[in-house]
């Protein structure tokens, strides 16, 4: 069968949520998933959508996804696409599905006038790192990612 890519729709929220949980299990981070179908629906299809999803399907069955959103580079003076999550079901890997999803995002980036497509990868995920480097992606080791969540975030917001 052939892999088809399509933009997700609101009715796909339960499928997207399950794929996100599959990604979290793979990354050994399942205990950190607080997302619900309701939160996901609001974030992707609510009054102000914050992200987009492309689903990879085979015969109407989901086999992978990419969740992304736009950011902006002040140095380039252009928008970019940030890939938050890319996941292909373990039994479907090695078939080119991840590459298809990244090619799709690269085309979107070019069509939308973006200056870059970027993402983060866990340091231990050597398979993903090798895959990304085979596409020509390079690590940006000059930067360290920082994050505020939970009480640290709300505490700073109250200052």
Please give the Cα distance from 137 to 54 (Å, whole number). Answer: 20
Which positions are annotated as active-site residues?
132
Tokens at residue 99, please?
């590459």
Average pLDDT over residues 41-64: 97
Specify the CATH number of the domain 3-157.
Answer: 3.40.630.30
pLDDT recorded at residue 141? 87
Alpha carbons 15 and 2: distance in angstroms, whole number: 19
Sorted by where each begins, the domain ranges of the chain are: 3-157
Q: What share of the chain is helix, strand, coil (3-state, %, to 5)?
A: 40, 25, 35
Tell me the pLDDT tens digit for each residue of 119-156.
Answer: 999 999 999 999 999 999 999 989 988 999 999 999 99
Enter the tokens of residue 18: 């399950």
Q: What is the mean pLDDT of residues 3-14?
A: 98
The pTM of this model reads 0.93
Model confidence at 1: pLDDT above 90: no
Mean pLDDT over 75-96 rounds to: 96
Least confident stretch, 32-41, 46-55, 135-144: 135-144
Sheet harboring 3-7: ordered strands across? Answer: 3-7, 52-58, 61-73, 78-88, 117-119
Question: Considering the chain, what is the average pLDDT of its residues?
Answer: 96
């Amino acid at each position: 069968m052939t892999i088809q890519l399509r933009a997700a729709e609101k009715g796909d929220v339960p499928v997207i949520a399950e794929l996100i949980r599959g990604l979290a299990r793979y990354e050994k981070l399942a205990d950190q998933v607080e997302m619900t179908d309701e939160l996901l629906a609001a974030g992707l299809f609510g009054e102000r959508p914050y992200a987009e999803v492309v689903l990879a399907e085979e015969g109407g069955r989901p086999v992978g996804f990419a969740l992304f959103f736009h950011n902006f580079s002040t140095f380039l003076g252009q928008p970019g696409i940030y890939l938050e999550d890319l996941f292909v079901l373990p039994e479907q890997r090695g078939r080119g599905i991840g590459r298809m999803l990244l090619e799709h995002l690269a085309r979107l980036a070019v069509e939308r006038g973006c200056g870059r497509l970027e993402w983060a990868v866990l340091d231990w995920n050597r398979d993903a790192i090798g895959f990304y480097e085979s596409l020509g992606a390079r690590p940006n080791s000059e930067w360290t990612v920082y994050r505020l969540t939970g009480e640290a975030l709300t505490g700073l917001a109250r200052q």
